[in-house]
Structure 1
Amino acid sequence: MKIAVLGVGGIGSTFAAQLADAGHDVTVIARNRRLEQVSRDGGIRTADGVVATTVAGELPTDVDFDLILVTVLAHQVTPLLPRITASRGRTVMFMFNTFDSLSTLQDAVGDRFAFGFPAIAAQIDADGVLRASIQSRGVLTTVTDAQWAEVFTAAGIPAVTTSDMESWLRSHAAFAAPFMITVAEAHRAQRGISWSRARELAAAKDEAFALVRELGNEIIPAMHAVVGKVPATLTAGLLWVASRVPAARATGAAGYAEPRALIDAMMTVANRSLPALARVRPQS
C-alpha cells in the first residue's frame, strides 16, 4: 500500500519504519532538522540500520495515498489541515493526544476520517536515530478502522479498534497530562518530585476524570477505568515513584507542550473553573 506519514518524530518514525519494513511504499513528510536527517539517511535510521522511504518536505496533493497518517502534536495540526484536505489520501488517520471533540477534524476530511492512538514509546536521539518500544500487551495501539488495525498489526504494531475514540482519548488524557507533567518536572530538575507536588498532580488526575464523566464520555478501556478509580493517595504514591525511575524520567525530555495543550483543551471544553488542573498547568 502507498502510505504517507506526516510528522516523523518518534511515533511517526516508528510507524514509517515498521510499515516500510513490511513492504509498504512509505513517504515521510518532515520539516527543519528532522527533514535534514531523513533526507541524509534516505529514510528512518534505527539502531539496526536505515529503513528506506521516500522523503518530502510537504505532503504531496497529487498522489493517491491509501493512507495519510498524521502524527504531529494536536496543536500543530490546524495549519496543516488545508493541505491535508486537498490531498488525495483515501483514508486520513490522525494520531495524537487530544481532549478536543474530533468533529472538527472529521468535518475537514469527511468520510476519509479515521483516528488512532499509538501504544509506543519512542524518541529520536541527537544523531537522528530512532529508539522505540512498541507495546504488545495491555493497552495496545487503538484505531477506529479495522482495516488499518490489521495492517499495523501485520507490520509489527499490534492494534485493536474502538467505536468510541473520543471517550478513549479523553480517558487517556485524564491521566496522561498529570503523568507527563510529573516526568517532565523530574527530567528538568534531575530529581524526583516532592510529596506535596505528587498530591497536587493526583488531585488534577481526579478532577480530569470527573470532567470526562461529566461530559458523558465512558471511561475506556478497562485499564483507564481502573486508573480513574485509584484513590488520590495511591495515585500520588505512584507518581512520586515514577519520578524517581530513570526510564520514566527520561520520557520527560519531551517537555511541557503536550500536557499544557491537553489541560488547555480540558478547560475550554469544561467552560468552567478547573482549579486542580490549573494549579499543575505548566507555564513554560
Structure 2
Amino acid sequence: MKIAVVGPGGIGSTFAFQLSQAGHEVTVVARGKRLEQLQRDEAIVSAAGKRAAVRVSAALDATTAWDLVLVTVLAPQVDAVLPALAGSAAKAVMFMFNTFESLDRLRDAVGPARFAFGFPAILASLDDGKLTSKIVTRGLVTTVTDAAWAKVFSDAGIPAVVHPDMESWLRTHAALVVPVMVATVMAHERKAGVSWTEAMRLARAMEEGFRLVRRLGNSITPQPMVALSRLPAPVVATLLWTVSRLPDMRKLGAAGPGEPRALIDAMGAAAPGQTPALLAIRP
C-alpha cells in the first residue's frame, strides 16, 4: 500500500517504521530539522540502529492516490494541513492525535467516506533524530474507527482495535491524560516529582474532566475508565504522585506544556465557566 505519514514525530515515526518494515511504501511529510534528518537518512532510524527505508517530502503530494494519509500532528497544528488533505486524491485520511473537540469538523473537511480517526497506544520519543518507542500490545492498545486499518496496523506490529464511539473515547482519554501530562511536565522541569498538594490538585482536575465528559452527553469509555473515574481523589493523587517519579514518564514531560494546555483550553471552551479545577492546573 501507498501510505503517507504527515508529522513524523515520535508517534508518526513509529507508524512509518513499522509500516515500512511490513512492506508498505511509506512517504513521510516533515518540516524543519526533522525534514533535514529524514532527507539525510532516507529512513526512520531507531536508537538501536535499525533502519526502515521511507521516502521523504516537504509537502503532501495532492495528486497521489494514497491508500492512507496518516495525520499525526498535534491538534493545534491540524488546521495548517486541512486544505492539502481536503484537496488530495487520498482514498482514506486518518487523524491521530489528542483532542477534546467534536470530530465533525475533520470529517466534513475530508468527507465522511474518507474520514477515519485513531489514537496510538505508543510511548515514543526522538533523540537527535533516533527513534525510541514502546508499543502497547495488551490491554488498552491503539484504537481506531476503521476495522480494515486496525488489521493493517496489527499486521505491522501495532496491535489495534476498533471502538464504535471514538468521540467519547477521546474525551475520556483527555480527562485522564491532562493531569498526567501536567504532572510529567512539572517533574521534567524540576527533575523532581510533584508534591502531595499538587497531586491532589491534579486529581481534582481529573474528577472535573470526567464530570465534563458526562455533562456533554458522552460516555466514559472503555470500561476500565469507568472504574478509574470512580476512584477517590486521594487514590488518584497517589497514582499521580508516583507517576511523576518514574524516569520514563518524566522523560515524556520534555514534550512541554503545549498539548495539555491546548486540551484544557478545548475543555474550557466546551463548558465555559465550568472547569475551574482544570484551569487551575493549566501550565
Q: Give the AA of the match of 1:4.
A: A
**Are 1:123 and 2:125 counterparts?**
yes
Q: Give the AA of the match of 1:240.
A: W
Q: TM-score, normalised by structure 2?
A: 0.98
Indicate the residue corresponding to 1:41 in structure 2: 41
Q: Secondary structure at the match of 2:102?
A: coil
Q: Secondary structure at the match of 1:234?
A: helix
Gaps of 5+ in 2: none
Shift of 1:244: 1.1
Aligned length: 281
Gaps of 5+ in 1: none
Q: Give the AA of the match of 2:30.
A: A
Q: Give the AA of the match of 1:217.
A: N
Counterparts of residues 102-141 of structure 1 (less than 5 Å):
102-110=103-111, 111-126=113-128, 128-141=129-142
Asked whether the 8 Å contact 1:42–1:50 carries over to 2, the reply is no
Shift of 1:224: 1.7
Q: Give the AA of the match of 1:125.
A: D
Indicate the residue corresponding to 2:3 in structure 1: 3
Q: Give the AA of the match of 2:120.
A: P
For 1:232 and 1:267, the matched residues in 2 are separated by 21
Indicate the residue corresponding to 1:32 in structure 2: 32
For 1:136 and 1:113, the matched residues in 2 are separated by 25
**Are 1:52 and 2:46 counterparts?**
no
For 2:265 and 2:153, the matched residues in 1 are separated by 31
Indicate the residue corresponding to 2:244 in structure 1: 243
Q: Give the AA of the match of 2:71.
A: V
For 1:142 and 1:150, the matched residues in 2 are separated by 11
Runs (4+) of structure 1 exceeding 3 A deviation are none
Percent sequence identity is 55
Q: Give the AA of the match of 2:119.
A: F
For 1:195 and 1:276, the matched residues in 2 are separated by 16
Q: Secondary structure at the match of 1:227?
A: helix
Q: Alpha-carbon deviations, 1:39-67, whole Å to 9, x = none?
A: 11002111232210110001110101000
Indicate the residue corresponding to 2:210 in structure 1: 209
Q: Give the AA of the match of 2:35.
A: L
Q: TM-score, normalised by structure 1?
A: 0.98
Counterparts of residues 163-202 of structure 1 (less than 5 Å):
163-202=164-203
Shift of 1:245: 1.3
